[in-house]
Amino acid sequence: MIKNNLKFAALTILIFCFAGRALAQIPVRKGPASAEEIKKAKDILDTNMNSLGAHKAYIYAMGISNPLVIKQYNEWMKKYPQNINIPLAIGTVYYNAEMPQAKQFLLRVVESEPGNAKVWYMLSADAERWGQEDLSAKYMRKAALADSSNADYAFYYLLYFENGDPKEYARRVFDFVKRFPANNHGAQALYWLAENTIDANDKISYFEELRKLYPPQKFQWSSVGMMRLTDAYLQINPEKALALINEMGGGKDWAIRKQVAESLIQVNKLEQDQNYKEALLKLDEIKLPKFTHLQDFIVLKKFSLEAKAGDVKTAYDSVAARFARLPTDQLYTELELLGGKIGKNKAQISKDIVTIRNSTAVTAYPFELGLYTGNGTLNLNSLKGKVVLLTFWFPACGPCRDEFPHFQAVINKFKGEDVAYIGINISPDQDPYVIPFMKNTKYSFIPLRGSPEFAAKYYGVDGEPGNFLIDKNGKIVFKDFNIGSTNQRTLQLMISSLLKKNQPDN
């Protein structure tokens, strides 16, 4: 579940969330500085041990990973046992740097100040990095109780129920909205409730409720939600979408969507008049906004018009190319239908898909990386004959942690089959988190030791998670995909295809 790294991030990444999943970046380390700079920072700190800024400057001058820092702070905590700012300062610095050393110092703070909501919040985020979901929820509840008027903590605690019963979670969301009716987190909660809902009618209903309760002109989450509502309307009623677009006013994204709506109205009219070729030409003129979920709809619309225009072979080729890259059951059904019209059976369809995938497959770099579970290494070449699901991650990466439950749900469907699941941690500074995270979450991937330089140089990964599916011959067939609650089936189809299964499984 994404908690402290994505859904609660600044609104500057909201558009990235709208487009898909924001990529996490490992923090940049500083230090050590020169001996003169270290002395200067310590002299300033000696005159004011309560200054969090002075503590931060000293820690970074020493070098945040320098073991002498912890030694020094332990000495200070013994010398000044009543000064809570000492453990708070070092705990906060380590927390902000997403380092496991934070925990021991933050716990010292709440031992003395059990009502410190902010530190309970930090402990909650840190617990997630250890894979302690229940403890994370417990700490967040303490934060919410310590500051019951704080909508942030109440909202963060709400999201721990997100993966439970959908109806119960929806009820909790609307209870939160009633409690904090003017807070942007209410709009945020409704946005994510709608976004993660699979049923199309419920999705539209929740977005419409968002529009009613949180005026898009005042709430940014609602404003982006209206783009999603517009995209939903465009697929079933472009006239209704156009009315919403006109109400929303200016802006580049809205101008583009207005052109899409007007074009789709014309396309639908041409289709009704059985003028399929003109409808195709008009559809091809559509330029989608950068951040949208309309791509699949437009592609399927094109397939349908090509088939109606009598160009079944072109439609088949288009569907095959799309299915080869990002398989879904809907695309496969269309592929079978079109294939049948041009005399292709399932075996021939499967052969076409394999040909397309082989044309873009590239050999995966044959790494040999250290195991966290022992002193040995694992070589990618030793996994020849297996399908490999490979992900680049690090423990503090919220988007990575959000994806793991969905990966695991799919991997569980292939127990006993030739599938390997590998996770390369690219942040060595977070090594202490890894084994506890694996034990606490019980995820089945094999954790390997990596670095950001390795991920970037050999796999082109510059933000996490970075995901790849490697076939039995060691070639990357699928990459740059993200899996969530609404598209687990796509990953299942990808893996099935690499296991040489000719059609989608149930």
Alpha helices in 67-183 (DSSP H): 67-79, 85-96, 102-112, 117-129, 133-146, 151-158, 166-179
What are the residues whose beta carbons fall under 8 Å from the beta carbon of 27, sequence distance 6 or more? 96, 97, 98
Lowest mean pLDDT among 30-34, 156-160, 200-204: 30-34
356 phi and psi, to 5 degrees?
-65, -45
CA distance 183 to 155: 10
Please state the pTM of the whole predicted model: 0.82
Residues 371 and 446: beta-carbon distance below 8 Å:
yes
Token pair for residue 196?
């993660």
User: Where residue 19 falls among pLDDT bands split at 50, 70, 90?
Assistant: very low
CA distance 135 to 128: 8
Average pLDDT value for residue range 298-312: 88
Cα 460 to chain centroid distance, Å, stands at 18
In the chain, what percentage of residues exceed pLDDT 90? Answer: 80
pLDDT, greater one: 270 or 318: 270
Rounded to whole angstroms, what are the CA distances from 138 to 141, 149, 254, 395, 439?
5, 18, 42, 20, 19
If you count DSSP H runs as helices and E runs as strands, how many of each does the chain have, helices first? 24, 8
pLDDT at 137 over 70: yes
Lowest mean pLDDT among 5-9, 101-105, 475-479: 5-9
Tens of pLDDT along 51-83? 999 999 999 999 998 999 999 999 999 999 999
pLDDT at 10 over 90: no
Q: Torsion-angle region of residue 270: left (phi > 0), alpha (psi -120 to 50) or beta?
A: alpha
Lowest mean pLDDT among 36-45, 309-318, 371-380, 491-500: 309-318
Predicted confidence at residue 300, as pLDDT, reads 86
CA distance 108 to 97: 19
Place of tokens 């809902």: 197
Tens of pLDDT along 342-376? 999 999 999 999 999 999 999 999 999 999 998 89
Place of tokens 């410190």: 116
Predicted confidence at residue 486, as pLDDT, reads 82
pLDDT at 393 over 60: yes
Token pair for residue 383?
């996994």
Residues 327 and 493: beta-carbon distance below 8 Å:
yes
Average pLDDT value for residue range 115-131: 97
pLDDT, greater one: 395 or 17: 395
Average pLDDT value for residue range 213-224: 94
